[in-house]
Amino acid sequence: MRLRTDHEGVREQLADLIKSPGGLDMLQDELKQVPSSAPALAFLATIVKDYGAVDESAQLYKDASKLKPENTSYVLNLVHGYELLNKASLFPGNFVG
């Protein structure tokens, strides 16, 4: 079985799941402590942001940044998420830790 990652419906359903009550927590319980999951968290953050889940996207980028703080892409996307959420007051400072 092969998942079609180009199918728009799959991405929207994934975003809806993560936005649902407990959805983000469930995902984080599975992935946020495993350093190799940083790319997966960042990929999911990109998807959910496209469907209006900016809070959840920022949290996923924060989790990815904690796992791989040397990855500037994760940090920059986190900063952009905070900008969209009008949370720029969190900068400068240690926004990853």
> What CATH number should be reported for the domain holding residue 54?
1.25.40.10
d(CA 92, CA 83): 13
Q: Residues 57-90: pLDDT tens digits?
A: 999 999 999 899 899 999 999 988 888 888 766 6
Res 4: pLDDT: 61
For residue 65, give its domain range.
8-90
Total domain count, the chain: 1
Q: Does any domain span residue 62?
A: yes
Whole-model pTM above 0.85?
A: no
- Classify residue 42 as exposed, middle or buried by CB count within 10 Å of its CB (0-12, 13-18, 19+): buried
Is 2 domain-assigned? no
Residue 92 has what DSSP assignment? Answer: S
CB 51 within 8 A of CB 15: yes
95 assigned to some structural domain: no
In this predicted structure, what is the pLDDT of residue 1? 42
Residue 85 lies in a domain: yes
